[in-house]
Structure 1
Amino acid sequence: MYLRPDEVARVLEKAGFTVDVVTNKTYGYRRGENYVYVNREARMGRTALIIHPRLKDRSSSLADPASDIKTCDHYQNFPLYLGGETHEHYGIPHGFSSRYSVRTLSERAFWRRKKRLKSRLAMPVATLTYALA
């Protein structure tokens, strides 16, 4: 059994995503430069979370997509799908059976870790003065 769209939305909000757009078909969520949609029409939850196509490779080790693509004119922050009769925006749909799975995907696929530079502190050099005797 899959999580309902409202359950997926709650997990995203707890993970730091903020609601950007609400339409009759989707909720748009943003965290930094990452953007996802929650498909409000997914009553059974199989396609509840729609991620950006550029994250497909990064998310494939964490969750299996429900299908290759999902098109909708409400996915305005995603690229256009030019292969169909109508040119609509598209994303990669995912369904989740647990809140933990959604949280894991949101932490690992959408979070780009910044490389931390170790700063070396300059140690004061003791200067010795010798008295000439």
Structure 2
Amino acid sequence: MYLRPDEVARVLEKVGFTMDEVTQKIYGYRRGDNYVYVNREARMGRTALIIHPALKERSYLLADPASDIKTCDHYQQFPLYLGGDAQEHYGIPHGFSSRIALERFLNGLFGEGQ
């Protein structure tokens, strides 16, 4: 069982991220120069956290991604995916089974929150 999108959002806020965008598909969160998305469509939570593709290699040291990429036209802070016909942006999806595991991942990837 994975954390639901609303649970992921609460953990992000706990470690210092601030929500700055809300759409039907995503919550956008910022902390300093770092940006992540919460995939609101991930009902079962397997792809609830979306990180920037530039962090992909570093994230492998902390957790396995749910899939190689996740595309969405709402990921405006991330690069365009050039492998498809649609003008969609992409990120790396992750799912976590506990708040502690998610906090550990976020602290390892972005450092301790304020």
Scaled to the shorter chain, the TM-score interval is over 0.9
Instruction: Give the aligned partner of residue 32 of structure 1.
Output: 32
Corresponding position: 1:47 with 2:39: no
Q: Matched residues in 2 for 1:108 and 1:96: separation? A: 14
Instruction: Give the aligned partner of residue 97 of structure 1.
Output: 97
Corresponding position: 1:85 with 2:108: no
Of the two structures, which has the highest relative contact order with CA contacts closer than 8 Å and spacing of 6 or more? 2
Unaligned runs of 5+ in 2: none
Letter in 2 for 1:39: N
Instruction: Name the SS for the 2:110 alignment partner.
Output: coil
Letter in 1 for 2:46: R
- Alpha-carbon displacement from aligned partner over 1:7-41 (angstroms, at most 9, x marks no partner): 00000000000001000100000000000000000
Following superposition, the deviation at residue 87 of structure 1 comes to 2.2
Unaligned runs of 5+ in 1: 113-133
Alignment TM-score, normalising by the size of structure 2: 0.95
Structure 1 consecutive aligned stretches of length 4 or more whose deviation exceeds 3 Å: none
Letter in 1 for 2:79: P
Letter in 2 for 1:87: Q
Corresponding position: 1:15 with 2:15: yes
- Alpha-carbon displacement from aligned partner over 1:37-81 (angstroms, at most 9, x marks no partner): 000000000000000000011111111100000000000000000
Max Rg structure: 1
% of aligned pairs identical? 77
Letter in 2 for 1:105: F
Aligned length: 112
Q: How large is the Cα RMSD of the aligned pairs?
A: 1.0
Instruction: Give the aligned partner of residue 2 of structure 2.
Output: 2
